[in-house]
Amino acid sequence: MPLWTIYHPTSTFTDPATKSALANAITAIYTAVPLPAFYVNVIFIPVPASNFYIGGVSRPSQPSSSTSEPGPDPQVPFIRICIRNIARKITTAQQRDRFLGRVDSALKPFIEDKGWDWEYDVEETSRDLWKIQGLVPPGPGTEAEETWKRENRASGFEAETGGLGKL
């Protein structure tokens, strides 16, 4: 599963339609791989300016606060995104560049084009410690994974059809 945690000021991502559109753009990154859409988790976490500091300055600052010149304008919203990938690993520079390009493209209309400051990182965690609905997910490209994609949900399967051998 990819898990995207989007930390943002309370003044941003206030419209459910915008959040839905961004979540769909993020999901499209992974369904192109192709992964089942339900693997993709996107969580928006609004953070009050009094709890969001970059370089010791709240972001965005309240209008009466001082600026930290030189440096970024503290009035500009800062968006921090943590991405955890489990279902697949990036194993080549070409895959990395393609993935990061897709991430940048998905975020552009929602963050960059608004002039907001932003940062993200990608963490890859072990598939061995992952379950959905108590099930070990089927291996990539297996018959069972195809069923999960088609049904868009976790369902029981024979270990062999999921590429897992004997469980």
- Where are the chain's structural domains? 2-130, 134-167
So what's the pLDDT on residue 49?
86
In one-letter notation, the amino acid at residue 84 is: R
So what's the pLDDT on residue 165?
75
Backbone φ and ψ of 9, nearest 5°: -60, 155
Q: Which fold has domain 2-130?
A: Macrophage Migration Inhibitory Factor (3.30.429)
More confident residue, 61 or 20: 20
pLDDT in tens, 73-90: 888 899 999 999 999 999
In one-letter notation, the amino acid at residue 135 is: L
β-bridge mates for residue 85, sequence order: 2, 124
